[in-house]
Amino acid sequence: KNGILDIGGSQLPVAVDTDARLIPQTTFFDIPRHLLRLREIMRDLTLGEKHLLLIGNQGTGKNKLVDHLLQLLKWEREYIQLHRDTTVSALTVQATLVEGQVVWEDSPLVQAVQYGRTLVIDEADKAPLEVVCILKGLVEDGEMTLSDGRRILRDAASASEKVIPIHPDFKMFLLANRPGFPFQGNDLFRECGDVYAPHVIENPDRDSEVELLRSYAPDVDVSALQRMSSAFTELRQHVEDGLLAYPYSTRELVNVSRHLQRFPGQSVGDALRDILDFERYDQHALNTLREVLLRWGIPLDVSGSEDAVNVAVERRLPQPVLVERWLLSRVDRVPKISEVDVEVRNCTYMLDVKRGIKIEEIHEGRAARFTEEFNRFRLPLATSKYDTESVAEAVVLPGGGGLCALVERTATGSLSLILRDLDGQGTGCDRIDASFGLRAPLRHDTPVKMFILGPRSFGLAGERRMYTIELGVEPTASELTLPKSFFGPQSEKRGAEAPMWNTDFSSEGVVSVWVPGSDTVAVVHVASRKARRFMVPGLRTHTLWALGPEELVVRDADGSLVHLNVAFRSLDAHL
């Protein structure tokens, strides 16, 4: 705006009267990670830095970032690419064919110095160290001697046949891969990192990468792009660990996405073949690739014929057989009904949330064939020499709310929660540790019920307490405690019968609790935080089933069944 380029608060004037032939033109899409890097580069240029070092794996967008910035600023560019056979003289002169004759001219480096252009040196890590030291001397000392005797000087009073003054607008961008495996280049940062402003350019984060792929391939299914990005993120970690050699960068993903956009009939696995064939003759690498891609629903080497469908065998049910006859009769026992005081308190402070825990061994069930199994994964349970964890219960929230698993430590009986979205897009989960008071101190084996309350809420019930947990940006929790008088004075002692909970209709906001052998049943309305107690004379409760939110069947200790109708909107109940 008004001749000023502003990226995130960093501002530079746009050049005028420049040669359009020397200004790079590139296709660039604004994604959050790239805009952040451009802002950082602009900040250094604003502060007076003229020579920058961009270091990162191949295919992460170093050239794209520099070319796009020069395009926005309308700065003229000179470009040179180094390699292992580059010599010092090759930096200063270049051979050009003019009218059938070879003519030696000033190199892009000399022209950039002389005319105040921006010099982009690509693959700087491939050059011998003596070449790198020459570049360092030019930046640090402002001096360089050419092969024909001319000298480049920063403080030269004026230009002459033997002296080339460094133009005040001269800038240099060095682009290099990081040292070490698998690029095996020189350690450019160690040699000259102190005279350049360094910037590390990495592959974009998953959200930015998917946004970039959607820009190149708007007609490709976004779930396929997300799966490719997640698979390549895992492959890059294998590269860091030395298990694979090829870097699997964003550039490869962009090429695959463009291929799928142009040829929509091809599968993702076929489109990846041009990249994955690098590892085809390494059996270990091929097995690693197949395992990782299959985990994200991208099959390799699928025959597409006889094994394309794998569903469960259909079995016929046996003929029904009469096993019992029931004698139904009305009883004259009238339940005694009373309100129960429920203690309610906010216990969100008890929740210790850990996010982004990696899930291992994710396998897509429908990657290579059709089956009822969608995916299979292993939850990250803690194990140690003296204690292990196991999944006690789990529920799946309706409407794609995700999986909620209750995890129990075998030695201490302490409980935790593991939460994971089941959309098949992520590799992580969240863990909630909390000191839930669901068990008496001496009864670690007391059963705990887990139940659904809504699309983003669930509950836990045990002993005389119930916890409701609402998921969101930050989860919240409430504790509901029934009075001890309901369960009796001996209820929390060792050997006493523990309260039992029925949560069959918890999604409608109603749960029931009873103590085996007692004549009392309590019905809790979770939403209103109210409870009612029903005492049936002569009843010794053995088991309780819920036929609906207002209808219970209680089995007596003598084997008889009692049908109890109860409603919170009425003041009575009947058998």
Provide the H-helix boundaries in 480-543: 484-487
At residue 77, the pLDDT reads 92
> pLDDT grade, residue 369 (50/70/90)?
low
Provide the H-helix boundaries in 433-560: 484-487
* Separation in Å, CA 116 to CA 15, 92, 376, 397, 557: 12, 16, 60, 63, 97
At residue 304, the pLDDT reads 41
Could you state, in order of their start, the residue ranges of all structural domains in the chain? 4-200, 206-296, 363-381+391-421, 498-574
The answer to whether 469 and 475 are in contact (CB under 8 A) is yes
Mean pLDDT of 480-490: 74
Q: What percent of the chain has pLDDT over 90?
A: 14
Over residues 175-232, the pLDDT tens digits come to 988 776 666 667 777 777 778 888 888 888 888 899 999 999 999 888 888 888 888 8
The C-alpha atoms of residue 8 and residue 363 are separated, in whole angstroms, by: 41
At residue 477, the pLDDT reads 92
Q: What is the CA 141 to chain-centroid distance, rounded?
A: 47
| pLDDT over threshold 60, residue 492 | no
**Cis previous bond, 489, omega within 30:** no
Sequence letter at residue 497: E
| pLDDT over threshold 90, residue 422 | no
Over residues 57-107, the pLDDT tens digits come to 888 889 999 999 999 999 999 999 888 888 888 888 887 888 888 888 888
The answer to whether 446 and 432 are in contact (CB under 8 A) is no
| pLDDT over threshold 50, residue 350 | yes
> pLDDT grade, residue 357 (50/70/90)?
confident
Which of 335-339, 439-443, 472-476, 484-488 is predicted with the least confidence, judged by mean pLDDT? 439-443
Q: What is the mean pLDDT of the chain?
A: 83
Over residues 510-557, the pLDDT tens digits come to 999 988 888 888 899 888 888 888 888 888 888 999 988 888 899 988
At residue 487, the pLDDT reads 65
* Separation in Å, CA 54 to CA 37, 127, 128, 510: 10, 16, 18, 61
| pLDDT over threshold 50, residue 302 | no
Sequence letter at residue 430: D
| pLDDT over threshold 80, residue 365 | no
At residue 370, the pLDDT reads 65
- The upper half-sphere exposure of residue 44, i.e. CA atoms within 13 Å in the direction of its Cβ, equals 18
Beta bridge partners of 416: 407, 433
Topology agreement, domain 4-200 and domain 498-574 = no
The C-alpha atoms of residue 262 and residue 257 are separated, in whole angstroms, by: 9
Provide the H-helix boundaries in 47-80: 62-73
At residue 98, the pLDDT reads 82
Name the range with the highest mean pLDDT among 74-78, 80-84, 247-251, 380-384: 74-78
Please give the full DSSP string across 323-382, using - where no structure is assigned. Answer: -------------EEEEEPPEEEE-GGG-EEEEEEEPEEEEETTSSSB-S--EEEE----
Neighbours of 352 (CB within 10 A): 11
Which of 26-30, 74-78, 374-378 is predicted with the least confidence, judged by mean pLDDT? 374-378
At residue 488, the pLDDT reads 59
Which of 7-21, 39-53, 170-184, 382-396 is predicted with the least confidence, judged by mean pLDDT? 170-184
Name the DSSP letter for residue 21.
Answer: G
At residue 478, the pLDDT reads 92
State whether residue 386 is helix, strand or coil. coil
| pLDDT over threshold 80, residue 156 | no
At residue 372, the pLDDT reads 75
> pLDDT grade, residue 303 (50/70/90)?
very low
Sign for the CA dihedral angle at 11, 17, 19, 20 comes to positive
Of 188 and 419, more confident? 419
Which of 85-89, 341-345, 565-569, 571-575 is predicted with the least confidence, judged by mean pLDDT? 571-575
- Span 498-574: which CATH code? 2.40.10
Given phi > 0 = left and psi -120 to 50 = alpha, else beta, which region is 397?
beta
* CATH match of 4-200 with 3.40.50.300: yes
Buried b (16+ CB within 10 A) or exposed e, 237-253: ebbeeeebebbbbbbbb
Of 109 and 159, more confident? 109
Which of 197-201, 380-384, 404-408 is predicted with the least confidence, judged by mean pLDDT? 380-384
The answer to whether 389 and 408 are in contact (CB under 8 A) is yes
